[in-house]
Amino acid sequence: MSRKHIILIIICSLLFPLGSFSSIPVTGQRAEPGTAESRLPLFFPAAQEGLPPEDGGQPLIRVKAEGVFSLPVVQQPANNPGYVASLPSTLTQFALAGRYGTTALMAHNHQAGAEFFKLQPGDRVDLQLKNHGKESYWVTSIRTFQAVNPTSPYSDFIDLENGNRLSASELFLAVYGPGDRLVFQTCLAKNGDQSWGRYFVIALPIPEKFFQQSLVSFPSLTNHAVQ
C-alpha cells in the first residue's frame, strides 16, 4: 500500500467512524426499490468534494480473461455507490474502491458474475482503459464469506476459511483497502438464497517486463502469452 493510500485511510477514519462509510454492495438478489438496501448512501458523505478522485484514473471499458471471458464494463451513476448493472454480460466498476487504489468490478451472480467462478489462481486478466491503455493482472487468491444479513450491504460477514466475523467496514478494508489490486465481486448462492454470501477474486498487477520470469510461480500463465 502506498503512502498516499495510508494517509487517505487515516483521514477517512478520523472524519467518519469505522462502519459509517464502508459497505459491501449486494450482487445477488437485488433489494426491492425504495428499501434502505437499494438506496445505499455515499461511503464518504459531505466530504466527497474534499477527497481526491479515484486512483483508477481512466475508467475501464472492457475486461478480458484469456480463455475465460471478455466483457464490457459500465460505470456507476453519480452518487449511487450501491449500483450494480442489471444488463446481461456486463460488469460494473465499483468507483469508491478506487479511492483506495483498487480496481473493483461487480456483477450479479445470476448474470455476468457467474463468470467470476471460472477464474483460478494464475489466470491472466487484461483491462482495457477508456484512453486505450491496458493493464494486466494475474489472479492470486479467492475469498468467500457468508453474509449474516444477506440482502443488506451493512451486514456482518463470516469468513468461510477461518470462521472469523467481520463488519461490513472491516471486510471492505480487508478486500479493497490494500490498493494496487484488481477485485471481482459477486454473491454466493446457497439453499435458494442468491445473496447468501460474497465471493471475491483478487488479482495483482503483472509488471510486463517481469511477466516471462513469473511463469515459474504461476505455471498456468504459460497458456496466456503476452500479446
Query: d(Cα 197, Cα 98) in Å, to the nearest integer?
Result: 23
Q: Tell me if 206 sits within 8 A of 218, measured CB to CB.
A: no
For residue range 17-50, list pLDDT tens digits in order: 333 345 677 766 554 443 333 333 333 322 233 3
Q: If you search the block for the grid coordinates 475508467, which residue do you land on?
A: 59
Q: What percent of the chain has pLDDT over 70?
A: 67
Spatial separation of the C-alpha atoms in residues 94 and 225, rounded to whole Å? 29
Burial of 9 (0-12, 13-18, 19+ CB in 10 A): middle
Give pLDDT tens digits for 172-218. Answer: 999 999 999 999 999 999 999 999 999 999 999 998 655 555 454 54
C-alpha to C-alpha distance for 170 and 19, rounded to whole angstroms: 8
pTM over cut 0.85: no
- Residue 91: closest CA among 76, 71, 109: 71
HEC string of the chain?
CCHHHHHHHHHHHHHCCCCCCCCCCCCCCCCCCCCCHHHCCCCCCCCHHHCCCCCCCCCEEEEEECCCEEEEEEECCCCCCCCCCCCCCCEEECHHHHHHCEEEEECCCCCHHHHHHHCCCCCEEEEEECCCCEEEEEEEEEEEEEECCCCCCCCCEEECCCCCEECHHHHHHHHHCCCCEEEEEEEEEECCEEEEEEEEEEEEECCHHHCHHHHHCCHHHHHCCCC
C-alpha cell at 7: 494517509
Span 126-134, mean pLDDT? 90
Cβ-count burial 51-83 (b if 16+ within 10 Å, e if not): eeebbbeebbbebbbeebbebebbebeeeebbb
Judged by average pLDDT, the poorest of 1-15, 82-96, 109-123, 203-217 is 1-15
- Cell numbers standing for residue 51: 477527497
Q: Are 93 and 74 in contact (CB under 8 A)?
A: yes
The three cell numbers of residue 210 are: 517481469
Q: What domains can be seen in the chain, in order of their start residue?
A: 55-222 (2.40.260.10)
